[in-house]
Amino acid sequence: SYTFWKTQPVPSFEEMAAGKDTIVDGPIKEIDIECVPKEPSPLLEGFEWVTMDLEDSKQIDEVYDLLYNHYVEDQEAMFRFRYSPSFLDWALKAPGWKKDWHVGIRASKSGKLVAFISGIPVRLRVRERVLESSEINFLCVHKKLRSKRLAPVLIKEITRRCYVDGIFQAVYTVGSLLPTPVSTCRYFHRSINWEKLYDVKFSPLPHGSTKQRQIIRYKLPDQTSTPGLREMEAKDIDTVVDLLQRYLKRMDLAQEFSTEEFKHWMFPTEKPKEQVVWTYVVEDPSTKKVTDFFSFYNLESTVIGHKKHESIKAAYLFYYATETAFTGKEDALKTRLNSLIKDALILAKKADFDVFNALTLLDNPYFLEEQRFGAGDGSLHYYLYNYRAAPLPGGIDARNQP
Ligand code: YNC
Ligand code: MG
């Protein structure tokens, strides 16, 4: 098995396990641009390569439709991610985005989009080294074309396009196990609308509990409690970028944010049809200094074949940072994060979300239990392409788009 992955510049399971303490970080293979093919390799008869034009909203809708019907589901096929067109517009047109990295396959006759893979440029720091890399996401093959080895063909094509542009490393996250994760996180879920989550069988009724007890368990106050908490404004940007950059230095794997990238991800000014990201700051009422921020994004899941509920509205914790992280006082950090995330839950409830999700990354373990998140059954593995790196005990950032 792993007949494809064995041919790729990724560490084997054996190498990674044996080399835990001895692996020296660095590229696996040198790429000679001269030797990179100028054209894609031929496809199965009846299919053709296309570069999607995501400045055309009709083509965003085509990607949306493909993913809406064929993208990631849970093990029991009860839920499927439903990235909105506004979300895709945001996620695929990050600063420096390249049209060439939005790769599709169409059926020649009908013109129908049947497969997709994408990359965006990202400056990724692995410990002390910064890699100009691509972040690969939204790999999807139509259900009728599964198990025909199309996925390796798509992966090879996006790799070729990255190489052509002089990008030789990539980062990607996948729910399933491939050779070889550099880090692994678990999903945690915090019910907001427990009754609905129970109705759609997302949340079980724990043995020995009652519906009423569950509803009370997840009840939240009507108002946030952190003094000075408010929506982020343009005037906060410089302070918050600086805060986030300092905060992320504590992690072994993190995106290096420029101000432009920060604005794109955390403070988009063009208001889309559907709001994608929410960002709040805390302005200390006495000093007027911004001391904390947090953000979450909106990603629904379709409830497959349910009569009453079409989808679950999920908020995903995105980036955050707090000055208390630099005090060296673990207790202070823990207390602060718990207050902030409790307020994030309250705000997510006001915005009509049913559930609030987070991974075991950043400083999240400090609040997951106390804020009544429960472990989900999914893991998310983090991978690097053409870069060998010892496992990352120091934590990772929040690029948590599955
Ligand atoms: C996957 N998700 O192991 P072996 S995540 C990578 N990522 O290869 P076939 C995957 N590889 O084991 P199917 C993968 N899923 O023989 C499968 N594979 O070595 C490997 N699902 O191919 C698999 N989206 O075409 C095997 O499988 C080979 O028809 C089998 O297609 C797979 O976006 C898939 O989960 C996932 O649409 C497309 O099942 C299909 O099943 C599907 O016969 C639902 O493929 C949606 C879904 C995946 C979400 C994601 C990140 C993708 C990362 C790809 C790797 C990028 C590497 C870096 C490239 C740039 C380099 C530079 C610079
Ligand atoms: Mg296939």
Q: What is the full DSSP assignment across 314-364?
A: EEEEEEEEEGGGGSS-HHHHHHHHHHHHHHHHHHHHHTT-SEEEEES-TTG
The per-residue pLDDT for 400 is 45
pLDDT at residue 394, rounded to an integer: 67
Report the complex ipTM.
Answer: 0.99
Q: What is the pLDDT of residue 401?
A: 46
Its sign, for the CA torsion 319, 322, 326, 331, is: negative
User: Residues near 66 by Cβ (< 8 Å), separated by ≥ 6?
Assistant: 113, 114, 115, 116, 140, 142
Residues 137 and 119: their CA atoms lie apart, in Å, by 6
The pLDDT score that the predictor gives to residue 398 is: 52
Pocket test for ligand 1, best of 174, 380, 384 (most atoms within 8 A of CB): 174
The response to whether residue 299 sits with its C-beta less than 6 Å from ligand 1 reads: no
For 399, the token pair is 């690029």
Cβ(141)–Cβ(104) below 8 Å? no
pLDDT at position 273, please?
Answer: 86
Cβ(68) to ligand 1 under 6 A? no
Nearest listed ligand to the Cα of residue 115: 1
Largest CA distance in the chain: 69
Ligand 1 proximity of 115 Cβ (cutoff 6 Å): no
List phi, psi (to 5°) of 353: -80, 150
Give yes or no for a contact between 242 and 262, defined as CB atoms under 8 angstroms apart: no
Residue-level pLDDT at 271? 80
Structure-block tokens of residue 96? 């420096």
The 3-state DSSP class for residue 376 equals strand
Ligand 2 center to residue 150 CA distance, Å? 4
Q: Which of 247, 228, 225, 226 is nearest to 236 (CA)?
A: 228
**Least distant ligand from the CA of 83:** 1
H runs (alpha helix) in 249-329: 259-266
Determine which residue's CA is closest to atom 35 belonging to ligand 1: 72
HSE, side-chain direction, 13 A CA sphere, residue 214: 21
If you ran DSSP here, which 8-state letter would residue 24 be given? P
Ligand 1 within 6 A of CB of 72: yes
**Structural domains of the chain, with CATH:** 5-175 (3.40.630.30), 184-388 (3.40.630.30)
Locate the ligand 1 atom nearest the alpha carbon of residue 72 and give its number. 46
**Residue 402: per-residue pLDDT:** 32
**DSSP secondary structure string, 88-114?**
HHHHHS-TT--GGGEEEEEETTT--EE
pLDDT value of position 269: 85
Whether the CB of 118 sits within 6 Å of ligand 1: no
Residue 163 Cα, ligand 1 centroid: separation in angstroms? Answer: 19
Q: Is 150 in the pocket of ligand 1 (CB under 6 A)?
A: yes
Residue nearest to atom 23 of ligand 1 (CA): 2
CA distances from 353 to 36, 225, 240, 296, 384 (A): 46, 19, 25, 11, 32
Residue pair 99/164 in contact (Cβ under 8 Å)? The answer is no
Return per-residue pLDDT of the chain as tens, 402 residues.
Answer: 999 999 999 999 999 888 878 899 999 999 999 999 999 999 999 999 999 999 999 999 999 999 999 999 999 999 999 999 999 999 999 999 999 999 999 999 999 999 999 999 999 999 999 999 999 999 999 999 999 999 999 999 999 999 999 999 999 999 999 999 999 999 999 999 999 999 999 999 999 999 999 999 999 999 999 999 999 999 999 999 999 999 999 999 999 999 999 999 999 988 888 999 999 999 999 999 999 999 999 999 999 999 999 999 999 999 999 999 999 999 999 999 999 999 999 999 999 999 999 999 999 999 999 999 999 988 999 999 999 999 887 677 755 443
